[in-house]
């Protein structure tokens, strides 16, 4: 449920500047790069299996991406999260510069997932502490 609340992701993952839910399936994304340029796109959910899988693809915008996030329950109230992403960097001169200068998209995704993990673990710790 937490992962599917797209508008909350910018408060968790540093490189995501803004996400607005446009309707039940579509969302508008803005991410920032270290050079100060914003990249924007509209994505749609292509598959949603509650508590199990979320798939997406870009409809239009600066970046083309598709993929899915899957969740698997593990013992001891743990969850395994697997992310598969296909990514086509922005075209043109900026794309050339980005591919040489900016961090690799894979590293950015890994950093974002670490941010998300830390948030969830902190939130679960707070929930346990609030229970009593």
The pLDDT score that the predictor gives to residue 59 is 97
Task: Give the pLDDT confidence of 9-48 residue by residue, as tens digits.
Answer: 888 887 889 999 999 999 999 988 767 778 899 999 999 9
Say how far residue 19 (Cα) sits from the centre of its chain.
10
Entry pTM: 0.72
- Under the banding of pLDDT at 50, 70 and 90, the label for residue 124 is low
How far apart are alpha carbons 60 and 23 in whole angstroms? 15
Task: Give the pLDDT confidence of 63-116 residue by residue, as tens digits.
Answer: 888 999 998 988 988 888 888 988 776 665 555 555 544 456 667 777 777 877
How far apart are alpha carbons 79 and 59 in whole angstroms? 30
How far apart are alpha carbons 92 and 94 in whole angstroms? 6
């Amino acid at each position: 449920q937490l992962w599917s609340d797209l508008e909350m992701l910018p408060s968790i993952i540093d490189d995501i500047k803004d996400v607005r839910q446009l309707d039940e399936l579509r969302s508008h994304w803005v991410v920032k790069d270290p050079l100060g340029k914003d990249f924007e796109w509209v994505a749609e959910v292509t598959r949603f299996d509650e508590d199990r899988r979320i798939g997406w693809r870009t409809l239009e915008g600066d970046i083309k991406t598709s993929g899915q996030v899957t969740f698997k329950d593990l013992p001891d109230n743990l969850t395994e999260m697997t992310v598969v992403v296909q990514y086509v960097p922005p075209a043109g001169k900026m794309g050339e510069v980005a591919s040489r200068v900016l961090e690799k998209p894979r590293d950015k995704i890994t950093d974002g997932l670490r941010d998300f993990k830390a948030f969830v673990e902190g939130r679960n710790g707070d929930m346990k502490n609030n229970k009593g």
